Amino acid sequence: MRIGLPSGASLPPFVDWPEDLASLVRAEVVMLEGGHEFDGRPLGPFDARGMRAAARRIREAGIRPGAVAAVAPIVTGRVDHGLLDDFAPMFEIVEPRPEP
């Protein structure tokens, strides 16, 4: 899942991957509205309903593992819009740890 529409629509996930490699790791690709500009301003309202619906589809399809990326989350110092709260009941969450 990628949170970053509308600006992220021009470069969808796997756009620059060789097709033989992308086909090995690509399952359902979901792009949702939300994310932040590099100065911290929101790109737009977060599509929480779309996120929950996609999470249900992915879980029901048995797709594991997965990834969620957001545009400029490091600027705000948190994962986008309470994302982990929405996902915790459905998936095991592993957050990247900042370098010391």
Give the predicted TM-score (pTM) of the model. 0.72
Give per-residue pLDDT as tens, 42-91: 888 888 889 888 888 888 888 777 777 777 766 665 555 456 666 666 66
Give per-residue pLDDT as tens, 3-52: 889 888 898 889 999 999 999 988 888 999 988 888 888 888 888 889 88
The DSSP element (H or E) to which 54 belongs, if any, is helix 48-60
31 three-class SS: strand
70 three-class SS: strand
Radius of gyration of the chain (CA): 14
What separation in angstroms does the CA of 72 have from each of 32, 65, 76, 92, 93? 14, 22, 8, 23, 19
